[in-house]
Amino acid sequence: MFRDVWARECGNWGDDDGGGGDVDEAAGRAAVEALRREAIDARARMDEMRRAARREVKSVGTTQAAVESRRRREEAKTFDPRAASRHGYGEARTTTTESRVSGCGDALDDDDQSGREESFEAYEERWCAFESSDARIAARDIPWPRSGAWLLRALERALPSHDDPKRAHRTLAKRWHPDKFIQRFGARVDARERETIELRVKAVYQSAQELWDACSKR
């Protein structure tokens, strides 16, 4: 485009036989000015394209956030607290449970910073699938919680408001007390991994029991 303008202006110089040097100088300035304007216009168009691209990226991000917000609202509308209670989790918890958990929050900081982002609901789904299976059990097949302390707090939070706060401790003990775990699942445990599994089960239960004991003393 710049070359076309330059050639046009130069052609005008060639056709002008009587203007002399002044005419040639004026035409040269006009050609330079035309080139400058073309460059300014091109730069303006490029800047506008960049701004449009940024607006599009921002619009996509806003749309994704709106979709996620809408999905959460729909999940909230379809949540059935009675069904959640049957599966061991829910939204409400008692004032006693609230004070027990908040009073012992410091003991759980390390557990919550483990970097694993699995929700309690997702963990419960894995536990239910494990509990209902009749397959042989290796260590990798067991739905290990982040820690016993994390699971105890999650169970306390999940109880419906009318339940005894001690139910969370009873539920955890039924699952993870070493004797009860072996009583329920020992026949399916791989003999080669039995010792490893028993040690890990004991560690889960001890973590929960230490938190429970500390909270009970408050």
Give residue-wise pLDDT tens across range 50-66: 888 777 767 666 666 77
Q: What's the CA gap between 69 and 64, in Å, rounded?
A: 9
**Lowest mean pLDDT segment, chosen from 68-77, 142-151, 180-189, 207-216:** 68-77
Q: Given this model, what pLDDT does residue 105 score?
A: 46
Long-range contacts of 35-43 (CB under 8 A, 24+ apart): 35/2, 35/5, 35/6, 38/1, 38/2, 38/5, 39/2
Q: Residues 202, 204, 207, 208: is their CA dihedral positive or negative? A: negative
* Exposed/middle/buried for residue 127 (C-beta within 10 Å: 0-12, 13-18, 19+): middle
* Position 126 pLDDT exceeds 90: yes
The residue among 184 and 10 whose pLDDT is bigger is: 184
Average pLDDT over residues 129-157: 93
* Position 86 pLDDT exceeds 80: no
- Output the pTM of the full model: 0.49
